[in-house]
Structure 1
């Protein structure tokens, strides 16, 4: 059995079920991120693991022990909240060791753990200060320190970076990643930020409307989204989703689209399996990431299926190291991610190159990915 096992778990408020048969097995040392839009059920699931919410159905086990009816204080978990939840009248040191004191841990042991964690988080110089004297990032470190001294089986993070400014969020993301790599702890982390999910996790559970839409590694989620929701939610800019028709082009499957002038164009697919052929001459949705659309010079030289595409540029957006170029395909905006010096100009035709090795197809009715 897994270190943390979420088995067929449901949550209902009265007759309304808000979490539907969630199955996730978390191995020891894994960093699992629960990601999804507001109201998708991710924080509810985290609170059920913590014992702060009752479980309506199924079981949650930690180290082979079912904890459905176990009090939060007896689960050996530590939680870091979005609000930090520090005691304003206590010093940093007292905030960190308060839980150990309540558990009657001897003072020498408390002092040893405090020194250890303060050094790890680089907050030794802050131990005598009160929370009101700290920046947001410092308060977050203190909240993490309070969790770390517990030496828990599982760390639970509930959107811990959402109150920080953009630069500090990036810095703290790196610190949390380092912490996990150094300590090898088991972490379940909730966020609505898909960049956090992709950069921090060893696996991601993408949630929507109380269902786990897809569970996999960041690469699996990004390259092979299970459905159109995952494709559009994960990635910045998100995957282009373009109405197309699956046709036979010189004996091979191709996606047929229209360009900015309404003319027909065909992009041969890399995959030619029976699963795709079952949709021949039917409408499909072509999914292609912005970075798979470039100019010829910027295209991935390892790609096996690079297709030229001449089309009019609608908008260019310089973004430092990249330039985002928007064109119209099949009546939809399609974003390409170019090098900063790409010579694409609005209202002019441009020679794009599309890496069709990276293309995926979805069924427009079910919105599920079409397997090869």
Structure 2
């Protein structure tokens, strides 16, 4: 049982079920990110926690109390919206303390809470301004301040950075992370941005079509995706997925793939369970950083395999060079060090870290577990 319990929760609109038996237990102080594409049900789930949407079946509990049917104002939660939802006719200070005023908190206490939060968010100089005089990043800080001043059990963030430009999003992401490290608050955060999910969370729930596809730490989600959707949704660039066949050689299972020149590459698996798939087709997943140049390969890995293949495209990206080649009948992206001399059309000696390889069942699209 967690601090926030989502037990077998479903949501239907008429005959259409849009959330299917969601089970998540969030511990106190945890930062849970709900991530997935538009329409996957993540915002609907957040709104059900907040009390803005009714629960069709199941239970939601906060701090040991079932809150089904409890009004949002009585759930002791605070929400930060995508649109900021600030009152334009009020000053920043009034926006921050308005909720406290509505709950009958005396003015001296309101002022102290406001000043403490303003100092924490570094917006003391903005307290007398109106929202229309603020930048997007400043408005977001004010919206966060309004939530923080309440000292709730759970903070809910609904895509709070999606209206900001790229640089400001990175800056605010860092600020939110620092805030969580300092306050140790319980946060549920919705985003469609998998980079936000990976960098902010202590755990991630990857959602698609109303189902939680996988729940785990960022490392678990990234290294051992539960299925093809998670593998290709999480990570930038996405995990490479190639057609392969399992063959036994010297008593060890290998992935057999067609190379760019039409030959065969035999890449030995690190996990023994692939022996059961001898002679069968699989989908092989390898992340770009596990296909690199020999000097850039992981020195700790005991299963780095050399592979000659032709380069199709090179993309210098400052700190890295991304290279596209063809393997297993698919275009495959590899991540090389920035100073590796490569050119389109030439053969290149790649180093493939098979310790990082993941195999999927083509029929179910689920990861073949070791």
TM-score bracket for this pair, using the shorter chain length = over 0.9
- Could you say what the CA RMSD is over the residues aligned between the two structures, in angstroms? 0.5
State the shift of 1:115 in Å.
Answer: 0.5
Q: What residue in structure 1 maps to residue 345 of structure 2? A: 347
Aligned equivalents of 2:328, 2:304: Cα separation in 1: 20
State how 1:322-341 maps to structure 2 within 5 Å. Answer: 322-341=320-339
Q: What residue in structure 1 maps to residue 209 of structure 2? A: 209
Aligned equivalents of 1:21, 1:155: Cα separation in 2: 23
Aligned equivalents of 1:142, 1:86: Cα separation in 2: 8
What is the CA deviation profile of residues 154-181 of structure 1, one whole-angstrom value per residue up to 9, with x for unaligned ones? Answer: 0000000000000000000000000000
Q: What residue in structure 1 maps to residue 137 of structure 2? A: 137
Aligned equivalents of 1:330, 1:215: Cα separation in 2: 30
State the shift of 1:39 in Å.
Answer: 0.2
Q: What residue in structure 2 maps to residue 63 of structure 1? A: 63
TM-score scaled by structure 2?
0.99
State the shift of 1:251 in Å.
Answer: 1.4
Helix, strand or coil at the partner of 1:93: helix
Q: What residue in structure 2 maps to residue 233 of structure 1? A: 233
Pairs aligned (count): 370
What is the CA deviation profile of residues 121-155 of structure 1, one whole-angstrom value per residue up to 9, with x for unaligned ones? Answer: 00000000000000000000000000000000000
| Uncovered stretches (5+) of structure 2, i.e. residues with no partner | none
Helix, strand or coil at the partner of 1:297: helix
Aligned equivalents of 1:169, 1:19: Cα separation in 2: 29
Aligned equivalents of 2:220, 2:343: Cα separation in 1: 34
Q: What residue in structure 1 maps to residue 32 of structure 2? A: 32
Aligned equivalents of 1:342, 1:221: Cα separation in 2: 30
Question: For 2:364, which of 359, 363, 366 is the aligned residue?
Answer: 366
Find out whether 1:280 has 2:278 as its counterpart: yes
Aligned equivalents of 1:262, 1:82: Cα separation in 2: 50
What is the CA deviation profile of residues 44-70 of structure 1, one whole-angstrom value per residue up to 9, with x for unaligned ones? Answer: 000000000000010000011110110
Q: What residue in structure 1 maps to residue 45 of structure 2? A: 45
State how 1:174-189 maps to structure 2 within 5 Å. Answer: 174-189=174-189
Aligned equivalents of 1:268, 1:103: Cα separation in 2: 64
Aligned equivalents of 2:247, 2:263: Cα separation in 1: 16
| Uncovered stretches (5+) of structure 1, i.e. residues with no partner | none
Aligned equivalents of 1:128, 1:249: Cα separation in 2: 74
State the shift of 1:261 in Å.
Answer: 1.6
State the shift of 1:366 in Å.
Answer: 0.2
State the shift of 1:264 in Å.
Answer: 1.1
State how 1:72-83 maps to structure 2 within 5 Å. Answer: 72-83=72-83
Aligned equivalents of 1:343, 1:308: Cα separation in 2: 18
State the shift of 1:279 in Å.
Answer: 1.5
Q: What residue in structure 1 maps to residue 294 of structure 2? A: 296
Aligned equivalents of 2:33, 2:5: Cα separation in 1: 15
State the shift of 1:277 in Å.
Answer: 2.1
Displaced runs of 4+ in structure 1, greater than 6 A? none
TM-score scaled by structure 1?
0.99
What is the CA deviation profile of residues 82-124 of structure 1, one whole-angstrom value per residue up to 9, with x for unaligned ones? Answer: 0000000100000000000111100000000000000000000
Helix, strand or coil at the partner of 1:86: coil
State the shift of 1:193 in Å.
Answer: 0.2
What is the CA deviation profile of residues 193-244 of structure 1, one whole-angstrom value per residue up to 9, with x for unaligned ones? Answer: 0000000000000000000000000000000000000000000000000010
Q: Is the 8 A contact 2:248 2:275 kept in 1?
A: no
Helix, strand or coil at the partner of 2:295: coil
Helix, strand or coil at the partner of 1:177: helix
Aligned equivalents of 1:125, 1:317: Cα separation in 2: 44
Aligned equivalents of 1:192, 1:284: Cα separation in 2: 29
State the shift of 1:262 in Å.
Answer: 1.3
Q: What residue in structure 1 maps to residue 220 of structure 2? A: 220
Helix, strand or coil at the partner of 2:105: coil
Q: What residue in structure 2 maps to residue 118 of structure 1? A: 118
Q: Is the 8 A contact 2:252 2:275 kept in 1?
A: no
Aligned equivalents of 2:63, 2:140: Cα separation in 1: 28
